Amino acid sequence: MRDHDDYEPHHESSPTDHVLNELQLHGYRPFTDEPDQRLLPDGNQVAGAVADIFDALIGTLADTRLEPDLDDLLWSTVNVFHRATDRIGRELDDNEQSQKRAQREQDGSEVKSVELERLIAEGITLIERQNAFELMRDQAAEHYERHVGKPWLPRSGSKVNHRNLTSAMIDSRDFLMAKKRADQEVLLPPGPKIVVTGGLDFNDHQLIWAKLDQVHAKHAGMVLVHGKSPKGAERIASLWASDRKS
């Protein structure tokens, strides 16, 4: 038999422990359905890293038996960033379609609104990532041209830059701004605000109705504001509004 103090049974790792270990090993990683809040790399650091890549390849392979392959390797290095840009561009196209679909599906519910907001945040992140990889590609293309003596060109397609939001992004932003205004207008509709207040024992309904009719004749789009008192002047004004609205 083993001494009880010397025996340690096997413990299964808890889900929390697994998450903490993942964070320690890999840092924060957002889920696929949430925007990445981490910062983009600094532009100067990116330029320095790209320069280091080319310096390392050229310094290692120049004046060796592998030098004939150097130009192709440098071209492929630029192409790595170009392919990343294209891949993100395709993801951005999918995001635009998702935004358009989310716009059509808006039904006033919070769930649909939050989904559209998430897609917009995701799209903006994709644009920032695309711009970052385009910067890396352009930096790498400059190093390629400096060494090879000719501009870098992709095997197919074009080398383009994207610096502006797409129309779908703008439409979605406009939509959210309009929704925010609509939500505010539910609580405070547009139009001249006419405030009615008075004591709970005030019961001259003919006077209040006559005055409100005069104001309404002058300001047809008026908005009546009152305190919803159960009786008195404000109750009379509320009944006037219900009668005139019907």
- For residues 223 and 194, is the Cβ–Cβ distance under 8 A? yes
Residue 173 lies in a domain: yes
Please check whether residues 181 and 198 belong to one and the same domain: no
Q: Do the domain assignments include residue 218? A: yes
Answer for the pair 218, 230: CB distance below 8 angstroms, yes or no.
no
Q: Are residues 202 and 232 in the same domain?
A: yes
Q: Give residue 197's domain range.
A: 193-245
Do 183 and 198 fall within a single domain?
no
Measure the CA–CA gap between 128 and 150, rounded to whole angstroms: 29
Q: Which residue blocks in the chain are alpha helix, DSSP H?
A: 15-26, 43-61, 70-104, 110-148, 167-187, 205-218, 233-245
Residue for token pair 């870098």: 152
Among 136, 118, 124, smallest CA distance to 91 is for 124
> Does 22 fall in a domain?
no
| 180 and 205 belong to one structural domain | no
pTM over 0.85: no
Same domain, 201 and 154: no
Asked if 209 and 132 sit in the same domain, the reply is no
Q: What is the pLDDT of residue 58?
A: 96
Q: Are 199 and 155 within one domain?
A: no
Q: Residue 208 in 3-state DSSP?
A: helix
Q: Identify whether 207 is part of a domain.
A: yes
Q: Are 81 and 140 in contact (CB under 8 A)?
A: yes
Per-residue pLDDT of the chain (246 residues; tens, 9 = 90+): 455 555 555 555 565 565 556 555 555 555 556 666 778 888 889 899 999 999 999 999 999 999 999 999 999 999 999 999 999 989 988 888 888 888 888 888 888 888 888 888 888 888 888 888 999 999 999 999 999 998 898 887 666 665 544 555 555 666 556 656 655 665 667 788 888 888 888 888 899 999 999 988 888 888 888 877 888 888 898 889 888 775
Domain contains 101: yes
> Which value, in Å, is the radius of gyration of the alpha carbons in the chain?
33
Of 171, 187, 203, the one marking the end of a domain is 187
Q: What is the pLDDT of residues 83-105, one digit of tens each?
A: 999 999 899 888 888 888 888 88
- Provide the β-strand partners of residue 193: 223
In a domain, 25, yes or no: no
Asked, for residue 59, whether it belongs to a domain, the answer is yes
Name the domain count of the chain: 2
- pLDDT value at residue 170: 54
